[in-house]
């Protein structure tokens, strides 16, 4: 088996999250080991092009920044390329399954060497994640073994992809701004009634405060709320920016309302107080994911943690008063910052997901 040959499968469910994590993983893997031969197979090149301006959404095959990109939907091109050079290690991201042409190569054409599938699952702080990490499962042939590799918040998981723009990745000595100095806010959320959030910010912020409203499905509803509530702060509709610029932006803000999993994972490492909106799911399952993360954060705070809970709950499930929750969160941001900082520092102790993955491959993946 060629342990330098890695194929990454990514099916984009929302606009950014899936490819955001996959692209971040590729960047980290190549930083760790530039000799890796990485092939990304993705079904939405347009979304990828918004995160990396070097990507051409019209090209079914391209080389960008040291790795190859294939259009998942181009059966003929992919089947030939992966038949000529069969995969050795496949990272199947977020339960995306495999394209038909790859199923044929693996299970009908029958490759003659071991192909290790590593399932990179969605990020969750739920306790079961520790038990599923490195758990093996079966496929239709012994030549294609499968194993779970779980991102997470404990030393029993694969950890998180490090936010290398965070000061806590480099040093612990830089002072944080006071709440009275809140000048830059990042607002990145799903579509919702954000009028209560804007009313809360109107009660604290002034004309010197910039609220940067990130692109995506929720941008219009946020901007509409700013208009309806006659926002006293500067609300700015952001253009799409690259992932590297996004990471830098997050670490330069004083307060964030953040959506999804990739941005949440990065926000957790900044030490900057934030409110998380989890991806809305059936039967309000996002509440389970939210509570699990809150439970991981709780030991890093004191009695003031109830302020965090009362801000997060109405944003995710309508439980409570969103305006009062966000207002109190911002008003007490100084006392909350110590807890967010402590939580951020704890995450770096678990190691970078990409480094832990490379270590796992070198130590645990069988060679033919």
Render pLDDT for 23-69 as a digit per residue (tens, 0 to 9): 999 999 999 999 999 999 999 999 999 899 999 999 999 999 999 99
pLDDT at 172 over 60: no
14-28, 40-54, 115-129, 230-244: which range is least confident on average?
Answer: 14-28
Task: Supply the mean pLDDT for the chain.
Answer: 93
Which pLDDT band, with edges at 50, 70 and 90, does 5 fall under?
A: very high
Average pLDDT over residues 272-299: 95
Which pLDDT band, with edges at 50, 70 and 90, does 17 fall under?
A: confident
Residue 168 pLDDT: 80
Residue 15 pLDDT: 58
Residue 364 pLDDT: 84
Which pair of tokens denotes residue 219? Answer: 């941008």
Highest mean pLDDT among 12-21, 112-121, 178-187: 112-121
Classify burial at 136, counting beta carbons within 10 Å of its beta carbon; exposed 0-12, middle 13-18, buried 19 or more. exposed
Residue 158 pLDDT: 97
364 or 9, which is more confident: 9
pLDDT at 173 over 50: no
d(CA 289, CA 141): 34
Residue 311 pLDDT: 98
Residue 367 pLDDT: 64
Which pair of tokens denotes residue 17? Answer: 């999250």
DSSP state of 181: G
Which pLDDT band, with edges at 50, 70 and 90, does 3 fall under?
A: confident
Report the DSSP pairing between strands 146-149 and 136-137: antiparallel
- Output the DSSP codes for 46-71: HHHHHH-TT--TT-SEEEETTEEEEE
341 Rama sector, left if φ>0, alpha if ψ -120 to 50, beta otherwise: alpha
* Number of helical (H) and strand (E) elements in the chain, helices listed first: 15, 13
294 or 178, which is more confident: 294
d(CA 42, CA 54): 15
Question: Tell me: the pLDDT tens digits for 130-155?
Answer: 999 999 988 888 899 999 999 999 99
pLDDT at 99 over 70: yes
d(CA 190, CA 4): 38
9-23, 40-54, 65-79, 279-293: which range is least confident on average?
Answer: 9-23
In 157-283 the beta strands, taken as DSSP E runs, fall at 184-187, 210-213, 234-237, 255-259, 274-277
Q: The pTM is what?
A: 0.92
Average pLDDT over residues 325-329: 98
Average pLDDT over residues 231-237: 97
pLDDT at 177 over 60: no
pLDDT at 70 over 80: yes
pLDDT at 263 over 70: yes
Question: Tell me: the pLDDT tens digits for 339-356?
Answer: 999 999 999 999 999 999
Residue 179 pLDDT: 47
């Amino acid at each position: 088996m060629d342990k330098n040959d890695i194929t990454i499968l990514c099916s984009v469910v929302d606009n950014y999250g899936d490819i955001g994590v996959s692209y971040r993983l590729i960047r980290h893997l190549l930083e760790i080991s530039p000799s890796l031969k990485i092939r990304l197979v993705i079904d939405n090149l347009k979304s990828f092009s918004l995160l990396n301006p070097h990507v051409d959404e019209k090209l079914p095959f391209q080389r960008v920044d040291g790795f190859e990109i294939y259009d998942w939907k181009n059966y003929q091109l992919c089947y030939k390329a992966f038949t000529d050079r069969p995969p050795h290690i496949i990272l199947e991201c977020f339960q995306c399954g495999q394209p038909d042409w790859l199923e044929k190569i693996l299970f009908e054409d029958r490759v003659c060497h071991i192909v290790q599938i590593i399932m990179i699952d969605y990020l969750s702080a739920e306790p079961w994640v520790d038990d599923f990490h490195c758990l093996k499962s079966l496929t239709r042939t012994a030549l294609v073994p499968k194993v779970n590799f779980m991102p997470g918040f404990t030393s029993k998981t694969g950890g998180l992809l490090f936010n290398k723009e965070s000061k806590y990745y480099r040093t612990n000595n830089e002072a944080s701004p006071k709440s009275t100095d809140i000048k830059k806010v990042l607002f990145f959320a799903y579509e919702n009634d954000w009028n209560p959030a804007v009313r809360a910010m109107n009660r604290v912020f002034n004309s010197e405060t910039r609220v940067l409203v990130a692109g995506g499905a929720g941008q219009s509803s946020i901007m509409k709320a700013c208009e309806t509530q006659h926002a006293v702060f500067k609300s700015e509709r952001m253009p799409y920016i690259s992932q590297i610029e996004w990471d830098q932006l997050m670490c330069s803000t004083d307060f964030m309302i953040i959506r999804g999993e990739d941005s949440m994972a990065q926000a957790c490492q900044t030490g900057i107080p934030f409110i998380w909106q989890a991806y809305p799911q059936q039967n309000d399952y996002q509440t389970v994911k939210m509570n699990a993360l809150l439970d991981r954060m709780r030991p890093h705070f004191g009695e003031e943690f109830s302020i965090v809970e009362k801000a997060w709950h109405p944003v995710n499930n309508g439980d409570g008063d969103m305006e009062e929750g966000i207002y109190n969160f911002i008003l007490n941001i100084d006392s909350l910052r110590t807890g967010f900082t402590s939580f951020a520092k704890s995450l770096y102790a678990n190691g970078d997901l990409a480094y832990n993955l490379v270590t796992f491959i070198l130590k645990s993946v069988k060679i033919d």
